[in-house]
Structure 1
Amino acid sequence: MATEKYVLSFDLGASGGRAVLGAYDGSRIRMEELHRFTNDPVHLGRTMYWDVLRLFHEMKQGLLKARGHNIASIGTDTWGVDFGLLDADGCLLETPVHYRDRRTVGMSGAAFQKISREELYRITGNQIMEINTVFQLLALRQQRPELLARAKTLLLMPDLLNYFLSGEKQTEYSIASTTQMLDAQRRTWSREVLTALDLPAHILTDIVPTATPIGRMTEELSAELGMGRPDIIAVAGHDTQSAMAGVPTGEEDFIFLSCGTWSLLGTELREPIINETSAACNITNEGGYGARISFLKNLIGLWLIQESRRQWMREGHEYSYGELEQMAAAAPTQRSFIRPDDPAFLPSGDMPLRIRAACERTGQPVPETVGEVVRCIDESLALSYRAALTEIETCTGKHYDKIYLIGGGVQSRLLAQLTADACGRTVLAGPIEATVLGNIALQLIAADEVRDLAEARALIRASSDITAYEPKDTDQWDAHFEKWKGLTPC
């Protein structure tokens, strides 16, 4: 066997993170999880924070466990939109605030008084969501201007962690595209948006292409950990775009569904689609490797089940996800649906109570048991995927026969089958670790070990198990979809 090349992938999501060793022998990628940790937000007073210093501590534990290998490079991906602010000395001004914090409530309305919704979308091509970076900065401008005045540099979460590793301050293209401050056509920061909202352009750093080597591990960190100084690669910092690189397709036109805390359904394009139809559908154009565009819809995903599970744990019932799926599979089918995009489901809290209230308000049977609640969530998610698929096809003018399901949702055979049934398309499920595989593949591309994205995806296909789910009972789901479309959020 050829000598293996080792790289380290840090994949941080809204609920947890992993350090995963990638070993490449020239024909396949082998993965080994070295360290896993939770990502627990911290409520202090009225503010919800990310515990970024503990996250970096956990990353260092992963590095310590990787010392036995000759690590050539490190890549980090995270969720989008959130950021840290540094002062003139490069010190973190305060712990980054969580996108679910309520400071952005009403900020989109405040923004539209200065720049119209239509103009903001025309420039950025981003789905309008109040969690977006631009609205977080507007909240700071209005509520804490003294903090913003002290800031010398803004670094989005993967770039902040890369800075902790390397001392280099740069912004990677994919994560920049989540901010609603990037000109989607020019692929540069939008002076027009920043000027209209009176936001400081000087705190933003240069944007580097995805899969760019940005430096090496700092000498101080290397000495602390007793290891070498691997290259730090700006992979697709937004985890969705690392997952996109990990879609095991050989096709130019395809639909992907990255299913985790958030679900992201869309396709890959060479140029953004920004017009009245895409604006009305509120579809985002996100940047990825090779300046490609992921034309996608952000949807509430497994957050509904994750938060329901946390509530049941608070009540003394520690169900595993496998147990929840078994109870859902045994529950009555197609009785009640919710709109996952209802703003009532965005904050943390008693999710089963909110789901029951939504069903009662819309005159549907109220799911009482744990299995009935999870079944309601799964079927409603599948219908939301159908709605997003319909919008994507309308905007692109294309029909897609298959959906590539990647991420944590692959583990739910029930959700995969329901998605095939509701959408009337074959679902190809796998790999679960698409984000990590994409992260690893982009490091290999940066090191010239893999030629391009097509070769990387072929490599991932050869390294993954894919399960096909064929649609069933599509006529019934057509009727349920019409019912679901008639439900109105609170």
Structure 2
Amino acid sequence: MTTYYLAVDIGASSGRHILGWLEEGKIVLEEVHRFSNELSKKDGELCWDVPYLFGEIKKGLKKCKEIGKIPTYMGIDTWGVDFVLLDEKDQILGNTVGYRDDRTKGMEEFVYQVMDEKDLYARTGIQKQPFNSIYQMMAIKQKHPEYLERAKDFLLIPDYFNFLLTGKKSVEYTNATTTQLVSPITNQWDYELISSLGYPKEIFKELRTSGDVLGPVTEEIRKEIGFDLTVMLPATHDTGSAVLSVPSNEEQTLYISSGTWSLMGIEQRKADCSEESRLANLTNEGGFDYRFRYLKNIMGLWMIQSVKKEYHDEYSFAKLCEMASECNEFPSRVDVNADCFLAPESMIQSIKKYCEGTNQKVPQTPGEIATVIYQSLAECYGKTVEELEKLSQYQYDSIHIVGGGCNAQYLNELTAKATGKTVYAGPTEATAIGNILAQMLGTKIFDSVSLAREAVFESFEIMKFKA
């Protein structure tokens, strides 16, 4: 009898339910449900529609039954840093504000009054991002202190959905590290840091690790979806899941998890919290089995996604790649990590304004806009490789690109050229695969991460682009 594993992978722009199982030693995937996800304004804040997302989770579960492929286990992963605070009645306090909201503007000043930026990095190993949970919590403390006074639980987004499914409150380690409130030494909450910032430490529950069984769904959920189901903890941070699926067992592997964000890095067993690492703006996020994802957060395909939307989806991503390649010689470049590209009203106008403000040729056509984005991304990848090689003291021969962005052939070609590395692209559904792998590792289908990654290599097509 086939055992089905379900990955519920919710990104910052869409979500999907993907079933996975083994056939003759190979991993087979089937997408069951897909839905949109986006921030919307509520009370002047950019917020996630959590009730809608949970409704889509249950809708996808019901579809599994409709097609006769009922999962025994399921796991949920999402983006990082965002969270809910629950009161004594398990109700959400305030809005579920998203990381692109500007409520954290200026909050680092309050954090640095307690601990300066250098010491904070040395203590947590997490790069400064204005939207990290540490700054979001400070925004709540400054603007809505009553929420902290009433809060009983802090749950990241996937942990909240797990609570709604099982009635059990837990926080998974990989996503928790994105808060900038976890110690890379103990792999647990840094309660001393939390208390010094004036956050109630009792709301931060002990961390659980990916591969753990959380428990069965509640009787209410079981009746609603029509079958028994056990919830497991994958790497609930989507990048943590994606990196687990990188199809390489080389001791030193360079990867890009390419989606809304581009996460470029390596895996290490020990966090690098050095000053050199901080100045390079690299981060040490938690990975499966307490590995560290030593990487840089790069703006990624958010820019091209926004441009595509502004053109009212007139052009597919493939078409934008094609038009960009036709404008390959267009000279202008932008800093893809500049704050002006985080949540602009118009990405197109922001790119034009940036080029104008830096005395560069201003792109006009969709192809020119697209090539500026893709070329700038590739150049950023090239610079990041140099930083990683310097800090890790290792020269890499290749880069593995996983996730939806690995389908952008033009960007893959540019990346190979900009880095001088051979690029291996695939698999596309890396996050869902990694989610499923964690469940399979937790249930001993695979005895080791190396065997799980070998199965990925054997099961999915990997494209090669030479430098």
**Bin of the TM-score, shorter chain as denominator length:** over 0.9
Kept in 2: contact 1:239–1:435 (CA 8 A): yes
Structure 1: distance between partners of 2:91 and 2:338 = 38
Partner of 1:257: 256
For 1:43, what is the secondary structure of its paired residue? strand
For 2:394, what is the secondary structure of its paired residue? coil
Could you report, residue by residue, the CA deviation over 1:25-53 in whole angstroms, capped at 9, with x for unpaired residues? 35111100000000021202311100011
Q: Which amino acid aligns with 2:63?
A: K
For 1:182, what is the secondary structure of its paired residue? coil
Kept in 2: contact 1:52–1:95 (CA 8 A): no
Partner of 2:233: 234
Structure 2: distance between partners of 1:122 and 1:131 = 19
Cα deviation, residue 91, structure 1: 2.5
Q: Which amino acid aligns with 2:255?
A: F
Structure 2: distance between partners of 1:27 and 1:211 = 20
- Of 338, 355, 367, which aligns to 2:351? 355
In the TM superposition, what are the counterparts of 1:468-479 in structure 2 within 5 Å?
Answer: 468-471=464-467
Q: Which amino acid aligns with 1:465?
A: E
Kept in 2: contact 1:258–1:264 (CA 8 A): yes
Partner of 1:421: 417
Kept in 2: contact 1:307–1:348 (CA 8 A): no
Partner of 2:362: 366
Cα deviation, residue 22, structure 1: 0.8
Partner of 1:34: 32
Could you report, residue by residue, the CA deviation over 1:191-245 in whole angstroms, capped at 9, with x for unpaired residues? 23212211111111110111110111111100112122x1111100000000011
Kept in 2: contact 1:75–1:235 (CA 8 A): yes
Q: Which amino acid aligns with 2:41?
A: H
Kept in 1: contact 2:244–2:434 (CA 8 A): yes
Could you report, residue by residue, the CA deviation over 1:40-94 in whole angstroms, capped at 9, with x for unpaired residues? 2120231110001100101111000111223110001000000011111223334
Give 5+ residue unaligned stretches, structure 2.
Answer: none
Kept in 2: contact 1:8–1:75 (CA 8 A): yes
Kept in 1: contact 2:4–2:21 (CA 8 A): yes
Q: Which amino acid aligns with 2:37?
A: N
- Of 44, 50, 64, which aligns to 2:48? 50
Q: Which amino acid aligns with 2:352?
A: R
Could you report, residue by residue, the CA deviation over 1:368-395 in whole angstroms, capped at 9, with x for unpaired residues? 1010000000000001111111111111
In the TM superposition, what are the counterparts of 1:102-113 in structure 2 within 5 Å?
Answer: 102-113=102-113
Q: Which amino acid aligns with 1:271?
A: K
Give the TM-score normalised by structure 2: 0.98
Give the TM-score normalised by structure 1: 0.93
Q: Does 1:200 align with 2:203?
A: no
- Of 17, 20, 41, which aligns to 2:18? 20
Q: Does 1:114 align with 2:110?
A: no
Structure 1: distance between partners of 2:402 and 2:338 = 24
Cα deviation, residue 312, structure 1: 1.9
In the TM superposition, what are the counterparts of 1:54-453 in structure 2 within 5 Å?
Answer: 54-67=52-65, 68-228=68-228, 230-313=229-312, 318-453=314-449
Of all paired residues, the percent bearing the same amino acid is 39
CA RMSD of aligned residues (A): 1.1
Give 5+ residue unaligned stretches, structure 1.
Answer: 472-490
Aligned residues: 465
Cα deviation, residue 264, structure 1: 0.4
Could you report, residue by residue, the CA deviation over 1:264-315 in whole angstroms, capped at 9, with x for unpaired residues? 00000111111111011121101111111110001100011111122222xx
Q: Which amino acid aligns with 1:296?
A: L
Q: Which amino acid aligns with 1:84?
A: V
Structure 2: distance between partners of 1:221 and 1:294 = 35
Could you report, residue by residue, the CA deviation over 1:420-450 in whole angstroms, capped at 9, with x for unpaired residues? 0001100000001111111111101111111
Q: Which amino acid aligns with 1:409?
A: G
Q: Which amino acid aligns with 2:428?
A: I
Could you report, residue by residue, the CA deviation over 1:440-478 in whole angstroms, capped at 9, with x for unpaired residues? 11101111111111111001111110011011xxxxxxx
